[in-house]
Amino acid sequence: MNILMVTSEAAPFAKSGGLADAVSALAGALKRLGHDVRVVLPRYYSVDKSGLEALPGPLGVPMGSGEQWSGVYRGILPGLDVPVYFIEHEAYFGREGLYGSRSESDYSDNPRRFSFFSRAAFQLCRKLGWVPDVFHAHDWPTGLVPVYRRFAEAGTEFSRSATVFTIHNLGYQGVYAKENFPYFGLPWELYHGAGLEYHGALNLLKTGLASADRLSTVSPSYAREIQTPELGQGLDGLLRHRSADLVGILNGVDTDEWNPATDKRLPARYSAADLSGKAQCKTALQKAFGLEERPDVPLIGMVTRLADQKGVGELFGPAHGSAVPICRDMDIQFVVLGSGDAWCEAELRTLSGRLPNFRARIGYSEDLAHLVEAGSDFFLMPSRYEPCGLNQMYSLRYGTLPIVHRTGGLADTVSNYDQDSGSGTGFMFDHLSPRSIYDTVGWAVWAYYNKREHVRGMIRRAMAQEFSWDRSAREYERLYSDALAAIRR
Ligand code: ADP
Ligand code: GLC
């Protein structure tokens, strides 16, 4: 099959979270299955042009009632042999941020930037003389891809191409003022007709959900949860309506990047059979974060965007969060690596100065992320909701037992400790609150000190878990075939 991934992120070129990891790894896995898969990405300033090849000639893209011109560069996903095309447009993408900056968290011209990009995907294929069987779009920035395919490209060479739209996060919908509609170059009847309308505004995610031939999200549990008012973020009705076309396909783990036995970023490597390297990583982690070097204290780690989705309010909220009582009442150490909401960054800095057993590093670092995964005993992920979540899967592979809210992908990948039999791979709670985080961390710490044999068994079980992208890619293959059968019927 010819498959085009239309995406605003792909590792290592442009990444704000797991979307980038997921898209690149999926593209690589589909390539291994023999498909002609290619990726198209905006050329943000942060993408270094020096290793890329410029394609000759400009690319004309219909916008509003006219046309805009851009350039195209070609590169390759490192190690995966997948071509990546970069759409270059100085006014739209010649800036540092992907979606916004420190001063403007969501660029006001995002509807123009991403409608242009979505439309450019089709023009790129024309330029290449390559017709995808499937346009696979991801999250709100590419929500217009199915709309363009269905309406603007209805009678063209793409009329037999199917569209698949994947929700990586329903919490970000791309909602903008209706006044932006004319940039899209679509007739006004599509404002309602293509599901763009949302409480008098434009909703790019919603239009993708309404218009794509098939829908998916990144775990089976999340696929069910988003059809309920509690986690449907206002779109549960539409998702229930499209239920027959929606599947949950669990993400995998990139085992070249995340394997404790071969991980070059670590000071020592290890396996389930010999965990001595993990103990060395723990010492290195304590040193790196300026904590007392104690081999026998339970060390709790976190690597996260500091956003409400991740449960940081319940954990670090200044008046009521559970982090302070956890650090005061329990003989533990706690390290956090993250960046995001300003209040939370400030609070983490304050706590690092106040609590002797708590240290946070504000910023983004792949090396430190690997060290936290390897050197911690437990990995805390109290997400309010979690479409899939990659860090708990990394943790399992690194023998770092996850402490998680039983939601979305966390529920699908972690199994709860049973203190009679010793079974399970982590510690789970059912309702997010400061109290439930406190109690569940306390439970894990209790097991660490009192049920050493159980914990050793859980580590072995966790490290044996397989989260393979090849399995996910086969499920996407089926989804693509379904989508194609539906439109070619
Ligand atoms: P989300 O995409 O919602 O943030 P995921 O768990 O799917 O959550 O993916 C997060 C990805 O981003 C992981 O690869 C994680 O290691 C990485 N990450 C998040 N914050 C940081 C950070 N401060 N430093 C390094 N990596 C980070
Ligand atoms: C989103 C979700 C996360 C998921 C990732 C990759 O960022 O928040 O749960 O793992 O996308 O699909």
Residue 121 CA to residue 142 CA, distance in Å, equals 10
Range of the domain at 201: 2-252+469-488
Per-residue confidence (pLDDT) for residue 388, from 0 to 100: 98
**Centroid of ligand 1 to alpha carbon of 318 (angstroms):** 24
Asked whether residue 473 falls in the same domain as residue 457, the answer is no
Asked whether residue 66 falls in the same domain as residue 124, the answer is yes
The answer as to whether 76 is a domain residue is yes
Tokens at residue 307, please?
């956003």
Cα dist from 62 to 67, 70, 183, whole Å: 4, 11, 9
Per-residue confidence (pLDDT) for residue 182, from 0 to 100: 96
Angle of the 18-32 helix axis to the 469-488 helix axis, nearest 10: 80
Is 17 touching ligand 1 by the criterion CB < 6 Å?
yes
- Domain tally for the chain? 2
Asked whether residue 179 falls in the same domain as residue 223, the answer is yes
Is 235 touching ligand 1 by the criterion CB < 6 Å?
no
Number of H helices, E strands in the chain: 18, 19
Asked whether residue 312 falls in the same domain as residue 444, the answer is yes
Is 304 touching ligand 1 by the criterion CB < 6 Å?
yes
Asked whether residue 229 falls in the same domain as residue 287, the answer is no
Contact at 8 Å (CB) between 164 and 23?
no
Asked whether residue 347 falls in the same domain as residue 235, the answer is no
pLDDT tens-digit series, residues 276-311:
999 999 999 999 999 999 999 999 999 999 999 999
The answer as to whether 262 is a domain residue is no
pLDDT tens-digit series, residues 333-384:
999 999 999 999 999 999 999 999 999 999 999 999 999 999 999 999 999 9
Rg for the chain, CA atoms, rounded: 23
Contact at 8 Å (CB) between 92 and 113?
yes
**Centroid of ligand 2 to alpha carbon of 434 (angstroms):** 23
Asked whether residue 198 falls in the same domain as residue 315, the answer is no
**Centroid of ligand 2 to alpha carbon of 328 (angstroms):** 32
CATH of the domain at 283: 3.40.50.2000
The answer as to whether 203 is a domain residue is yes
Contact at 8 Å (CB) between 285 and 372?
yes
The answer as to whether 172 is a domain residue is yes
Asked whether residue 245 falls in the same domain as residue 312, the answer is no
Is 364 touching ligand 1 by the criterion CB < 6 Å?
yes
Tokens at residue 220, please?
């089976």
For 393-402, b where at least 16 C-beta lie within 10 A, e where not — what string? bbbbbbbbbb
Tokens at residue 291, please?
């904590």
Asked whether residue 170 falls in the same domain as residue 308, the answer is no
The answer as to whether 259 is a domain residue is no
Ligand lying closest to the C-alpha of residue 217: 2
Q: Are strands 299-306 and 53-54 parallel, antiparallel or unpaired?
A: unpaired
Contact at 8 Å (CB) between 458 and 434?
no
pLDDT tens-digit series, residues 211-227:
999 999 999 999 999 99
Asked whether residue 87 falls in the same domain as residue 128, the answer is yes
Is 311 touching ligand 1 by the criterion CB < 6 Å?
no
Low-confidence ranges of the chain (pLDDT < 70): none
Place of tokens 């009329």: 159
Ligand lying closest to the C-alpha of residue 252: 2
Per-residue confidence (pLDDT) for residue 65, from 0 to 100: 86
Omega of the bond leading into 325 within 30 degrees of 0 (cis): no
Asked whether residue 353 falls in the same domain as residue 375, the answer is yes
Per-residue confidence (pLDDT) for residue 105, from 0 to 100: 87
pLDDT tens-digit series, residues 134-156:
999 999 999 999 999 999 999 99
The answer as to whether 315 is a domain residue is yes
CA max distance for the chain: 70
% of the chain beyond a pLDDT of 90: 96
Nearest ligand 2 atom to the CA of 409 is: 9
Is 388 touching ligand 2 by the criterion CB < 6 Å?
yes
Please name the amino acid found at residue 29: A
Residue 96 CA to residue 94 CA, distance in Å, equals 7
